[in-house]
Chains A and B, each alone.
Chain A
Amino acid sequence: MQLIKMAWRNIWRNKVRSLAVMTAVLLGLVAGMYAGALVEGIMQSRFENFIDNQVSHIQVHHPDFIRENEVFQTVGSDLRTLEEVRAISGVTSATVRTRVQSMIASASYTGGVELYGIRPKSENQTTNFSRNLVEGDYLEGESTNGILIGGALAEKLKVGVGSRIVLSYQDKDNNLVSGAFIVRGIFKSGFTRYDEMTAFVFQEYLNEYLGIGQDFHELAVLAEDIENLDEIYSELQKVFPNSSVRKWNEIEPALEIMITSSGLFSYIFIILIMIGLAFGLLNTMLMAVFERTREIGMLMAIGMNRRKVFLLIALETIFLSLSGAIVGLLVGYIIVAWFAKHGLDLSAFSDVMYELGVDTVVYPALNPSFPFVLALIVFGTALLSAIYPAIKALSLSPIEAIRK
């Protein structure tokens, strides 16, 4: 107890230096926390946009459809199954689609697209697709030859709402079929490549051309919460024993790659900051020990044992860093919490944010365990950087030290 008091007082004997070290720890922590939360927030926004508006949480296909893309490789047509899927607890919504690779042509351009036949209503409940429309209308009402295309594709095709375009694809007997469609609406999903490669039509209309009745190739399921995905997954496997049921990370491995690598980057960054802090702390304490050679020698000469000297110096280092750390964690938490509520407006980067599929207002998200992990790292850093100066203090010889 005596030692703790002494260490604490020693810290305040040199206010400027102590405050400088504390400020470094504080700023490092606040900034580290904020940067970590910001990266996490951007990733989450990207993830949510991608899941909620494109891939959904789980998809069901014919086991060979993913690789072979054959028109006849459908999941089935039993519409009761869709009801069954919706009834699974934890499922927000589900929709079915017909998918076919197709050539799309206007007077000025010919290209390939992935053509989706959708049920406009349930599609919208699942992917909220209509919100992406920037021109024209969403598919509604009676099944017609209306088509929705991406903005990037519309530019290439040089078409607008009301234009006629021709699509060619193979039907289930591998005959080449062509059909004319009228552009009803133009969308921008936030992913340019996707906008270039994708088009949407009425499922009913497309199925007639393909000759596959009520069949569908893809069933997309949106879950309420990503936490209980495994249960829904196993339920779906029961409903579709002969089909391939895949979760988002199997459907889009690129997304997982991105999340993993950016997470790794944040951690490396935090570690770099901590190394920087530790080194600053170590150097400062080392210098302080040398500066106080005489004082420490005196303490030893009047009978303070070595263990206590060691503890005293170590405690000083730990107090220095921990008082900075506690304030830092608190301030960081408050700042992050404020931005998490009000959002950080990054519209200066709106083009890129759009390209990356991130909303322009980012809400930094603090992983609840993050502050604790950070506190633990700081504590570890403080302990490590406390040891060396304390050892140095021990190696002083009292007699020589006093004479200085």
Chain B
Amino acid sequence: MDVAPSDEQRRLVESFTALFGDASPPSRVRAAEPLGFDPALWETVRSAGIVAMAVGEADGGWGAEPLDLALVAEVQGRFLAPVPIVEAQVAARLLARLRTPRAASALAAALAGERTVTMAVHPSREGVARLVPAGAVADDVLVMDGGRLLLVPSGGDHGQVENLGAMPLADLRLGPDAEVLADGPGAEAAYETALDEFLLLTAAAQVGIAARAVEIGVGYVKQRRAFGVPIGSFQSIGHALADSATAVDGARLLTYEAAWAHGTEPGRFAELAAMAFAFATETAREATYRSLHFHGGYGFTDEYDIQLYYRRARAWAAVCLEPRAAYRRAADHRYSAVRTAAPMEEQWTSA
């Protein structure tokens, strides 16, 4: 057991912390609302290799480990960087996993920065992929449609669904230009792994949100005075923040354990990724709620940054799964021998 990042991982975190610190301060996050996308920042991180790092060298990438991707996602969460990093990384890894010529050419276009590719995290229904993450800004979307994995050009005409988290979500109608990339059990398995990875990296981003929310709250309650003392001296406040700080550390350890298991104990990866998503999401919800609440009335004004975190902690999770469904997903992997074979559509609880 060694929970310290390697020197290389530390440098990775430092470089993205510097990049987002410069390019994604709260003013830029606000300016990117309501769409939730900053094209200039996306260009910057894409040229820095954010998509390439996610796929193996044989596929034209840099072959970073899931642990590295999780570290970057945590930094993204801290800064709420309005760019589809997790979406593009997981979609690229899914394309690489398919090993078909069409998938390879789509991946090449993504790596060359010609096209932004995302994936729908729920199978389509009645010809529509709903609430696709980054669907409003991507060029191509990977969609599971009745056992077939499709590559769907978005055509650029899918408007954003206005939403709580200022995410570039879109409902995407599957047109005649959708191409079948793969079908059958192989496609299902590849897509399931992509979902596990999406949950893992979202968990990491939630850790970043939660950690920053605690920092913002601690900073505020040290300065803010009421009844003649800093309000951080009240136990009702200090103890709640202590609980959140504890949960943040736990969520971070669980998330990095899941990322570590991806390569080292693959049999536990899916279970741990779902657990990490559920626990990190509950942690981020609680931390942002507490931190906002301890700001008093200022907490729910637009002017204070904590509301940006409060809204995204909920939205980034809700687009995937509610935590309770994620605990069920974890149990489905844990008890796979007695699996009920519930169809995936039922397990994923979104409309």
Are A and B co-members of a single complex?
A: no
